[in-house]
Every structure is written in C-alpha cells, then in structure tokens.
Chains A and B, each alone.
Chain A
C-alpha cells in the first residue's frame, strides 16, 4: 500500500466513525427525572453517624426522614417531620415527640419511636464525627440510652443532661444528618462484629424518606428513585440522578444542552455566562458558615491586641474583597453571628485603613512591619482572598508569603495550632441559632495545649477570653427571647472590643444554576434541600 493511499483510508475511517457517532439525537433529560451535576469529592460515606460535609446532607434529607424540619425560607420555624407534634417541659430539660401514624420505611417496616431513639443512641455509641453536637449537649455513649428513649411506639422522650436552650436541640434535630431516623431492623440485619451496621451504612441507606437510594458509585453517580409508600404521598419526580462532575466548563456545556438540570459548584465566570442565557437561571442561598481571616494568638506578634486589630480590622480590604472576589461565594458580613438572626448586630464597618494599621503596629513595636505566612486552601475564593490580603498587608510593611494547601493540610495545621495567618471558612452554620456559630468560632473554655479542643476554632486560634465564654454560656440558658437576644448582642460587643483572633469577612453563599423548566426547587440554608416537590414544566 502506498503512503498516500493509507492516508486516504485513514481519512475515510475517521469520517465513518464521525458519522456513526453522530447517529442518535441528543435528548434532554426526561420529564420525570432530575439530573444534578455536582462534585462528590467530599462524599466519603453515607452513614448518618459518621459522614461529614454538605454533600451527604443533600442526599440524607431525601432518603431519610427527620423528626422535625426547618422551613427553608424562615429557618427559625420548626415544622413537623416524622414527629407530628412535640412539647418542651417548662424547665427546658425534656422534649417529648409524638410520631405520626402510618409512616413506613422503604423496607416496609413501620417507623416507630424505638427506631428514632435507637438511631440517636447509635450516633453516640459509635462516637464518630457527627456525635460532636450531641456531646456538646452533654450526651455520652453511657448516658444516652437512659436519656433518649421510647415510652411507647409513638412517643420519644429526650431528656437533656445539662441545661441548654431546647431550641438549639430542636434545630440540630432538624438539620444534622445524625438526626435522621434509621430502620433499626434492616440496619441490625446488616451488622458486622458489633459495628451497629456502620460498614454497611457507609454505602447503603435504610430510611423512610421520599426517595430510595438505588445505587451509589463513589465519584461517579448516585441514583435515587421515588418511594411510593411515603407518608406525604409519592414525590413528583420518579428518579433523581447526581452525577459527579468537577469541571465547571463541562457543567456549563451540559447545562446548556439540557443534559443536566441543576449544576452546583460552578466557577464565577461560568455562572455569569449562564445568567445571560435564556434557558437557565441562577439561585443563591445564604449559608450560616462564615469566611474568615484568623491569626494564631500563640504567635508572639499576634498575642498583642494592637497587632491583631491592625491586621484583622484595618488591613483587610473588606469592600474590595466582597465586591470583586466574593460574588456568588459570599456576602459582606463581619460579625460572628450570621446574618438573618434577631440577635445579629449591624455591621461594625471595618474597612481598609493603612494609616490606622501603621499607627497600631508602630505602637506595638512593629513600625517596619514583619514577616509572616498565610495558609490557605488552594481553591477559589480562598486563594483570591489570600492574595488580596497579602497585598494590603504589604502596604503596612508586613511581608506575607502564601502557603497554599489542601483543606486537610490547612485545617490540619490549624488543629495543631501551628500557623500564623489562615484564610478559612467555618462556623456552626446549620442551626439558625447564635450559639451554633459562637460555639464553633469563639468559645474556648480551656486554652491549654493539653486540652486539645480541636473542634473549637476558638481553641485553634489560641485566643480565650473568660468573659466571652461566660457570656456565651449565660445567653444559651436564657428562656426569655428578648433577654436572650440582648445577651447575644452583648457577646458581639465584647467580641468587638477584645479583638479575638478570628475575624469574619463574608457569609457563605451557595449558588446553583438550573434549567428554567425546573419548578419548586428551594435551596435550604442548612443544605437540607428537599426534592420531594420538585418537578419540571415543559
């Protein structure tokens, strides 16, 4: 065969292949199916006792039922779920739930109060990641069996071991994956070596929610199908598919062609582009989590309140960052208590003030500035905030080098209290209660290294103010809403005057882009976005 003939043969083969490939017209997603393009990188487990991150919440709230739910538009409103009613004892130490009749698990087993009690007990017995909120209310693996119990098939009693605000407990029940009700019989049938079904639940589900989990192939795809026997009646969609897509451009193209209905985690330029197209719309939801700049008060420089004030209050370009970097990621907010709660004070209005910072630095003995490092998760918008901060610090003579890393590396260093400056994101967030954020970001009851209170970001920044701790503890126990609100405002004022080592700069916003024919999708600030009423109108 001569070379040019070979070439012609190749060209012909390519043309044939292309023709074959072009067969079969591209169809839009079916009417009764919802296809969601999402990064499932953080989805490592589906076990309600141990699965961290937001991804699992979005699945759990559709596969499982919660005792109570929080209204997506008015998050402080608690609505019935599996529990049709509940009562709080006058002393605030007991919550009694009455479960609805006729609810069934996907297996056909009836949902009972024993299942609900066992599910919560399981979380504490396993002591995995999601036991944290319950441990903070004083529950332990030992006391939980006595405190969380079913008095009959429909009555669940939760006794609180230490005085707390029962609202906070209700909010946790409405938002945390750990609060879902498991089908005890099915789980125990799959138990291995006394693990309470932990290994099995990592990749399976045993719930009563409006959707059944059909299959989850990690980092690939997750299928859910409608559970026709749900007590609310069948969901409108027949099937929900979550597809692992990490590349924003690919998501944009697939959304444009209608191969996916909803895309999450898209980059800002792609969101902007989709906003301009007629078939798609952009929805943003405020989350309770906060973007912050934190310093380590263990570092001699930042132990000085004046240096902290210079760096955290005067050398962050709040306006610039929120206007240029944060659109679709966050909204301007400088308080440790998230926006939208009655207790949240107006913004203190910190802004870039290099002269003010220089003055404070000079008073602290750093007239020529110093060298430091900024640890940051190597992704948007964190890196953009860090480079912005690097530039403004430089204006006051502070030479900061940026150390980018994975979330694991950055927060790992923070847990070891081994950092100088960090750009991060955190906070309680899910529960619409000031205590949730204050406990996560500010509270630090024991500042010693040995305490290793790694779950408190206050401890990680090595900053402790006994007065702030005391105010936070006191406010939680106030039963009069007006007094409680005033107490939380007092906490914020104290926070302001003491210049703690952690400074919020923006409140997290989550943006999804969806096809316009998707109806009744209401993103939930606590990530418990329920798909049971979602449908398509074409």
Chain B
C-alpha cells in the first residue's frame, strides 16, 4: 500500500524570495503611483470647480472680451476637462509640470527654487524638535506627576496651543527688533544675496561648501528664528508623544524585572524602555517633518520666507492650477516617501515586522 504523499510546501529558495520581494515592490510601486494619480485627479477636479478664474488673474478685471477669450484659449481652458487632464498627464510623463501663471516660469523650476528654502527651514526645525523634544519627553515620563513633569507638560501645552503666527511676531519683536540677534524678513541679508552659487539650494550648505563663512553666518542669523519657532512647535508635539510612549513602556513588567535585577535607572530608561519606543518615535518624527514641510505657511508669511508654503498659498489664491497641481504632487510624493522611509526603518529596528 502506497502512502499518499503529503504535499510539502517547497522550501523557500533564494530565487523564490527575490521574486516575491520583486512582486511585493511592484505592488507597492503600483499603489504609490495610483495614489498619486488619484491625488492629481482630485486636485484637478477641485481646482476646476473652484470659483477662481485664472484668466481673470492674468488679464485683470478691466480687460475686454476679446482679450479674455484669447488668453482663455492660450491657456487651453476652452477645451473639455478630460482633454485638459489628458494633456496634463501627457506632459507630466515627460517631466513637464507646465508653466506657472504666478511667476511665468516652468513649475518645475519654481519648485526647485522654493522647495530647498522650506526643506532647510523644516529640517532645522525638526532637528530642534527632536533633539529637544525627545529628551524632554523622556524626562517628563521619569518624573511623572512631579514638578519636572508639570513644567514639561506646560511647555508642551503652551507650544501646541499658541498660534504659531503669534510666536513669529513675538519672536521678531524680541530677538529681531529689540535685541537685534536675529535677521528680519527673508533668507539672508541683501548684501550677501546671490554671492554664493546655488548648488543644493540650501543656503547653509551652499555657503559652507563654498567656504563663505560670512554668508553662512548671515543665513544662520536669518533662519535661526523661524526655525526655532517651528522647532518649538515640533518640541511640543514630540515631547508629548515621547512622554506617553515612555509612560506606556515604564509600566511594563520587563521594566519592573530590570529594576528588581538592580539595573541603574539610567540603564532602565535609556537602554530598555527608550529602545522600545524608537520605532514609534520614528513614525511621529517623520509625520511631524511632513507636516512642517507643508505647514510652514504662516511662518513663511511672517518672515517673508520665499518657500514652498508661500508658493502654494499664492498659487491657490490665484487659481494657478499648474502650480497647485505641481505642489500637491510634491506634497504627495513627500508623504509617500516619508511613509516608505518609516516602514523601511521599522524593518531595520523592529525584527517582528520583517516577515
């Protein structure tokens, strides 16, 4: 009697694994592309429904009919919506985001100019937010219910609930107008504007690479205040989250065990508890960074900072759809990239997610 053979799943081979990974990556890519396409479509539809007339923005309220119609035709706005969207996608596939009404330049060039300004601001802010917020959060958690905890929570509450606009004005008043420590509006002192060739668009990096330390110092003077204020906002959020993550860890049994085993409090807090919240922290820092990139609008207005936030707002108010869609695409890509990055980091730091 022959025994029925029990189907045994084939042992995973190296090539099988690669194939699976490739398939997984392919699915991931398709999802990302579909998400971005959906985002573009939605923006396009909303943009066309909005009661804003880009033609009117160009020709002004007093133009006559023939001028109005001519410009409308030049912009292609007389064609059916589906056709307009089709043309947009066609151009997009060639890397062409169209021309911005706002500046007269290709949207791609505009974004290449305004994005670094915001990236520089947001990066410095998130660095401040993380380097100050995380230790503060940990400190508060270890002092739960005591004075230190209350102080940190108060700082967090203050930073989170005070309008960033007000912080900006007060910061300018104190550090710029009274003390003269910080620069005023703009990214750099006009005397230094254009002295350093733009390589990355990040003024601090460019001037350091060129060895122009006076320019670097001027750029630092101008960025310190807006980045500090945005950073404070991030501190409030990050410290609050860190505190609650830490509290959750510190009440776990393994902490008790570690303490019973006689480990020092520093070792318990940093080597055990903190290591276990790293992954969660990465996610919130990534999200906060994305938020800063997109949400620095008010600070950019107060400080006359020529960045992405101002660009997006102005193009929205003008009904400049090429600029709006280009900007939305960038925001979409940034969020997708940050999500992918935090997923990847999860896999590095948390072995459980690797399967």
Q: What is the chain A residue whose CB lies nearest that of B57?
A: A408
Closest CB of chain A to B137's CB: distance in Å? 10
B193 contacts A3, C-beta separation under 8 Å: no
Q: Answer yes or no: B139 CB below 8 A from chain A CBs.
A: yes
Cα(A52)–Cα(B220), bound, Å: 37
Q: Answer yes or no: A440 CB below 8 A from chain B CBs.
A: yes
Closest CB of chain A to B114's CB: distance in Å? 9
Residues of chain B contacted by A494 (CB below 8 angstroms): none
Which of B64, B71, B303 contacts A132 (CB under 8 A)?
B64
Q: Answer yes or no: A189 CB below 8 A from chain B CBs.
A: no
Q: What is the chain A residue whose CB lies nearest that of B265?
A: A2
Q: What is the chain A residue whose CB lies nearest that of B69?
A: A452
Q: Which of B25-33, B88-96, B177-185 contacts A (4 or more CB under 8 A)?
A: B177-185
Cα(A217)–Cα(B265), bound, Å: 55
A18 contacts B301, C-beta separation under 8 Å: no
Which of A215, A257, A407 contacts B180 (CB under 8 A)?
A257
A408 contacts B184, C-beta separation under 8 Å: no
B62 contacts A440, C-beta separation under 8 Å: yes
Q: Answer yes or no: A165 CB below 8 A from chain B CBs.
A: no
Residues of chain A contacted by B132 (CB below 8 angstroms): 10, 14
A17 contacts B186, C-beta separation under 8 Å: no
B184 contacts A257, C-beta separation under 8 Å: yes
A455 contacts B64, C-beta separation under 8 Å: yes
B314 contacts A219, C-beta separation under 8 Å: yes
Q: Answer yes or no: B61 CB below 8 A from chain A CBs.
A: yes
Q: Which of A24-32, A485-493, A528-536 contacts B (4 or more CB under 8 A)?
A: A24-32
By CB atoms of chain A within 10 A, which of B132, B135, B184, B220 has the most? B184
A3 contacts B138, C-beta separation under 8 Å: yes
A129 contacts B58, C-beta separation under 8 Å: yes
Which of A217, A408, A455 contacts B52 (CB under 8 A)?
A408
Closest CB of chain B to A395's CB: distance in Å? 31
Q: Answer yes or no: A471 CB below 8 A from chain B CBs.
A: no
Which residues of A, 1-60, contact B by the 8 Å Cβ criterion?
A: 1-4, 6-7, 10, 13-14, 17-18, 20-27, 29-30, 33, 35, 37, 41, 44-45, 50, 52-53
Q: Answer yes or no: B169 CB below 8 A from chain A CBs.
A: yes
Q: Which of A89-97, A179-187, A238-246 contacts B (4 or more CB under 8 A)?
A: A238-246
Q: Answer yes or no: A78 CB below 8 A from chain B CBs.
A: no
B56 contacts A415, C-beta separation under 8 Å: yes
A25 contacts B61, C-beta separation under 8 Å: no
Give a binary string over B234-273; 1 marks a CB under 8 Å from any A CB, 0 the rest: 0000000000000000000000000000000110011000
A256 contacts B177, C-beta separation under 8 Å: yes
Q: Answer yes or no: A267 CB below 8 A from chain B CBs.
A: no
B71 contacts A128, C-beta separation under 8 Å: yes
Cα(A454)–Cα(B53), bound, Å: 14
By CB atoms of chain B within 10 A, which of A37, A215, A220, A254 has the most? A220
A3 contacts B58, C-beta separation under 8 Å: no
Which residues of B, 127-165, contact A by the 8 Å Cβ criterion?
A: 131-132, 135-136, 138-139, 142-143
Q: What is the chain A residue whose CB lies nearest that of B113?
A: A217
Cα(A223)–Cα(B195), bound, Å: 14
Q: Answer yes or no: A221 CB below 8 A from chain B CBs.
A: yes
Q: What is the chain B residue whose CB lies nearest that of A244?
A: B304
Cα(A69)–Cα(B180), bound, Å: 43
Known contacts A37-B185, A218-B105; is-contact A10 B60 (Cβ 8 Å): no
Residues of chain A contacted by B12 (CB below 8 angstroms): none
A24 contacts B217, C-beta separation under 8 Å: yes
Cα(A408)–Cα(B50), bound, Å: 11
Residues of chain A contacted by B224 (CB below 8 angstroms): 17, 21
Q: Answer yes or no: A448 CB below 8 A from chain B CBs.
A: no
By CB atoms of chain A within 10 A, which of B67, B181, B301 has the most? B67
Q: Answer yes or no: B104 CB below 8 A from chain A CBs.
A: yes
Closest CB of chain B to A422's CB: distance in Å? 11
Q: Answer yes or no: A101 CB below 8 A from chain B CBs.
A: no
Known contacts A7-B135, A257-B176, A408-B52; is-contact A44 B102 (Cβ 8 Å): yes
Closest CB of chain A to B73's CB: distance in Å? 11
Q: How many A-B residue pairs have CB under 8 A?
A: 188
B301 contacts A3, C-beta separation under 8 Å: no
Cα(A52)–Cα(B186), bound, Å: 26
Give a binary string over B200-233; 1 marks a CB under 8 Å from any A CB, 0 the rest: 0000000000000010011011001000000000
Closest CB of chain B to A154's CB: distance in Å? 33
A128 contacts B51, C-beta separation under 8 Å: no
In the complex, which range does the number of interface residues on chain A fall in?
A: 35 or more
Q: What is the chain B residue whose CB lies nearest that of A249?
A: B169
Known contacts A18-B181, A454-B64; is-contact A6 B135 (Cβ 8 Å): yes
Which of B56, B62, B113, B169 contacts A455 (CB under 8 A)?
B62
Residues of chain A contacted by B181 (CB below 8 angstroms): 18, 21-22
Cα(A426)–Cα(B56), bound, Å: 15
Cα(A215)–Cα(B190), bound, Å: 13
Closest CB of chain B to A290's CB: distance in Å? 14
A50 contacts B135, C-beta separation under 8 Å: no
B186 contacts A243, C-beta separation under 8 Å: yes
Cα(A245)–Cα(B300), bound, Å: 10
Residues of chain A contacted by B64 (CB below 8 angstroms): 132, 135, 453-455
Q: What is the chain A residue whose CB lies nearest that of B53?
A: A412
A129 contacts B306, C-beta separation under 8 Å: no
Residues of chain B contacted by A132 (CB below 8 angstroms): 62-64, 67
Q: Answer yes or no: B317 CB below 8 A from chain A CBs.
A: yes
Q: Answer yes or no: A253 CB below 8 A from chain B CBs.
A: yes
Q: Answer yes or no: B40 CB below 8 A from chain A CBs.
A: no
Q: Answer yes or no: A71 CB below 8 A from chain B CBs.
A: no
B184 contacts A259, C-beta separation under 8 Å: yes
Q: Answer yes or no: B66 CB below 8 A from chain A CBs.
A: yes
Closest CB of chain B to A36's CB: distance in Å? 11
A247 contacts B270, C-beta separation under 8 Å: no
Q: Answer yes or no: B311 CB below 8 A from chain A CBs.
A: yes
Closest CB of chain B to A217's CB: distance in Å? 7
B306 contacts A244, C-beta separation under 8 Å: yes
Which of B52, B67, B214 contacts A129 (CB under 8 A)?
B67
B139 contacts A6, C-beta separation under 8 Å: yes
Known contacts A21-B182, A132-B64; is-contact A412 B139 (Cβ 8 Å): no
Q: Answer yes or no: B352 CB below 8 A from chain A CBs.
A: no
Closest CB of chain B to A412's CB: distance in Å? 5
Which of A35, A247, A253, A426 contacts B177 (CB under 8 A)?
A253
Give a binary string over B87-124; 1 marks a CB under 8 Å from any A CB, 0 the rest: 00000000000000111110000100100000000000
Q: Answer yes or no: B68 CB below 8 A from chain A CBs.
A: yes
Q: Answer yes or no: B326 CB below 8 A from chain A CBs.
A: no
Q: What is the chain B residue whose CB lies nearest that of A455?
A: B64
Q: Answer yes or no: B194 CB below 8 A from chain A CBs.
A: yes
Known contacts A218-B103, A406-B52; is-contact A250 B184 (Cβ 8 Å): yes
Q: What is the chain B residue whose CB lies nearest that of A203?
A: B104
Q: Using A215-B194, A250-B169 as known contacts, list a sample of 5 further A-B pairs with CB atoms less than 8 Å apart, ordered by residue number in A.
A: A35-B190, A44-B102, A249-B302, A259-B184, A408-B52
The 3 A-B pairs at the shortest CB distance, nearest first, are namely A52-B60, A218-B103, A202-B104
* A-B contacts, 14 listed (Cβ < 8 Å): A1-B270, A2-B265, A6-B138, A33-B190, A45-B58, A50-B58, A241-B190, A243-B186, A245-B304, A408-B53, A408-B57, A408-B319, A440-B62, A455-B64
The interface of chain B, by Cβ under 8 A from chain A, is 51-53, 56-68, 70-71, 101-105, 110, 113, 131-132, 135-136, 138-139, 142-143, 169, 172-173, 176-177, 179-182, 184-186, 189-191, 193-194, 214, 217-218, 220-221, 224, 265-266, 269-270, 301-304, 306, 310-311, 314, 317-319
